[in-house]
Amino acid sequence: MRKILGVRHGHDASASLIVDGKIVADIAEERLTRKKNDGSFPENAIRYCLEAGGITSQDLDAVTIPTASISSTLQTFFPGGNIKEQSKQSLKLYLKKIINHYKIELPVYYEIFPLRRDCKIIPVHHHLAHASSAYYTSGLSDQNTLVVVMDGVGDGWSTSLWRGEGNHLTILQKYDDSSSLAWFYAAATEALGWRHGSDEWKMMGLAPYGNPQHGALDGFYPEFENGILIKKHGFGAPHRFPDHGCNHYHLNDAVELKKIAEDLGRENFAAEVQRVVEEQAEHLIYPWLAKENTRNLCCAGGFFLNVKFNQRVWYSGLVDNQWIYPNSGDSGLTVGTALFAYYSYNPEKKIHKIQTQYLGPEYSNTEIEMTLQDRKIPYKYYSDIELITAEKLAENKIVAWFQGRMEAGPRALGHRSILMSPLRAENKDIINACVKYREGFRPFTPSILYEKADDYLRNSREELFMITSFEVKEEVKKRIPAVVHVDGTARPQMVKREHNSQYYELIKKFGELTGEYVVLNTSFNVKGEPIICTPSEAIKCFFDTGLDALVMGNYLITKKEWTNESQ
């Protein structure tokens, strides 16, 4: 089995293509439709993945999905194929209920993806898909590894622990939604007026501004002790409201939590929420590390987008190898399903650690220039665009940086980024207010040359994907204040030349000009919108925000030149 397409239909819909065990393409549907957290059937993402692999759907050996049941929608878009034999019994009742009661008939303008009769359709349990996304990208298959999955709920599970050994995952423990620390965090996020399943990192960013209020939230969360769930919490059924291709979720606890937040103050409430989840997750994970006699930890599921908890685990000294799958939310499930299928059918193959997330669309200089010419936008071409951009940053300009293949996952990693100098503390407020249009407490990432990371961070490890925060050394906090959070930490991206030579060169040039080999990096978008994908989207964002310059490929666009040209 060589060519495997992973498909996720539901909130954060996505598609991924694996060829011979390599991730060839990975993209969320939202990046192509511009609908945040788009839950539509990922027709556009599927089409992109097939194009990126230079294949058609009839070349596929398998289509995998991150759930135990196959929907009629999937079978409508993928006619043909063969449902994996051992899954038929578990799907029998579901298929009888769903497929026999109605038939989906697509309009003629929708594209379908016919499969060969021998192409397997493989359902993979939601949590096994998450576990696979972490383990089969970690490069740790030659060592006994604890794999932990924590999310809202998927296929009835919210918490699961696995043993990774060789090319095999074995379930150690699982709990239903009464164990969901992620749902507690989501209900608290909703209580502060933010979106459940989308805005949890706002809670994480606000927490360091407050003081934990021990006991204030007792009774609203599950409790763990010695690796065991000792107190369940009944969240009740989540409510879902569909809106423009995505879903808004509501948990009943949010109503009471909102009252508590008003009494405590938003900052103190956020601090206590963060304290609770860190403490309870420790009570779950640390005993299992001891039970499994391992210092290797892999994690996935939306809970592990919490960079502060990931930092706490690293600083505990209990792990030597800590790997969190960078796209650990539900849009990353498709990679997990496809890799699970690949290693199930190719158990002798070696597991490699992934090194990049540049897996989306890219645009050539020719395509970029045509877009600019069609819109009659003045531009300049520079062969040394990295130096020109570094000079703009050294002048304290805000620069949008659009290069190469778009990133998979929630983080901009120097291909679809907004950049600024980290040397002035006020730059954080400037970008939040004038470009991102978001809350002032939201922090920004320092993109650091890989070789220079130890000059800035204390007790760090390799971190290429902004998935863990670290303490910033005391002597450098005042030198790069715009990327140091209020608690003295930073969520870095360490940039290696071999993975992104152009971005590496830009940071290097900025360092030569300023003495600091760090730039402020945030995603190229505004609050509430997906990260920019295409040149036309980049142009719209540029002219609708306080950006000073837009760099796409080797082309520089500035508003000053646009004004002069118009006159």
Q: Which domains does the chain have, with CATH numbers?
A: 3-126 (3.30.420), 138-324 (3.30.420.40), 365-566 (3.90.870.20)
Q: What is the pLDDT of residue 513?
A: 98
Indicate if the pLDDT at residue 252 is higher than 50: yes
Q: What is the pLDDT of residue 539?
A: 98
Indicate if the pLDDT at residue 449 is higher than 50: yes
Distance CA(438)–CA(432), nearest Å, equals: 5
Count how many residues are written for the chain. 567
Q: What is the pLDDT of residue 69?
A: 81
Taking only the tens place, the pLDDT of each residue in 272-291 is 999 999 999 999 999 999 99
pLDDT class of 245 with cuts at 50, 70, 90: low
Q: What is the pLDDT of residue 255?
A: 97
pLDDT class of 102 with cuts at 50, 70, 90: low
Q: Average pLDDT for residues 372-396, to the nearest whole number?
A: 98
Percent with pLDDT over 90 in the chain: 87
Q: What is the pLDDT of residue 96?
A: 47
Q: What is the pLDDT of residue 561?
A: 61
Are residues 27 and 359 in contact, defined by beta-carbon separation less than 8 angstroms? yes
133 contact partners, CB below 8 Å, separation of at least 6: 300, 325, 327, 328, 332, 333, 335, 336, 339
Q: What is the pLDDT of residue 75?
A: 86
Sign of CA dihedral 272, 273, 279, 280: positive
Q: What is the pLDDT of residue 87?
A: 46
Taking only the tens place, the pLDDT of each residue in 528-549 is 999 999 999 999 999 999 999 9
Average predicted confidence (pLDDT) for the chain: 94
The amino acid sitting at 554 is N
Inter-CA distances, 553 with 298, 405, 438, 503, Å:
36, 11, 28, 12
Total H helices, total E strands in the chain: 18, 26
Indicate if the pLDDT at residue 524 is higher than 50: yes
220 contact partners, CB below 8 Å, separation of at least 6: 184, 187, 233, 253, 256, 257
User: CB-based burial of residue 27 (10 Å sphere; 0-12 exposed, 13-18 middle, 19+ buried)?
Assistant: buried
Distance CA(383)–CA(511), nearest Å, equals: 20
pLDDT class of 90 with cuts at 50, 70, 90: very low
Instruction: Give the residue from 443, 444, 447 showing the smallest Cα distance to 493.
Output: 447
Reported pTM? 0.95
Q: Average pLDDT for residues 105-127, to the nearest whole number?
A: 93
Taking only the tens place, the pLDDT of each residue in 55-77 is 999 999 999 999 988 888 898 99
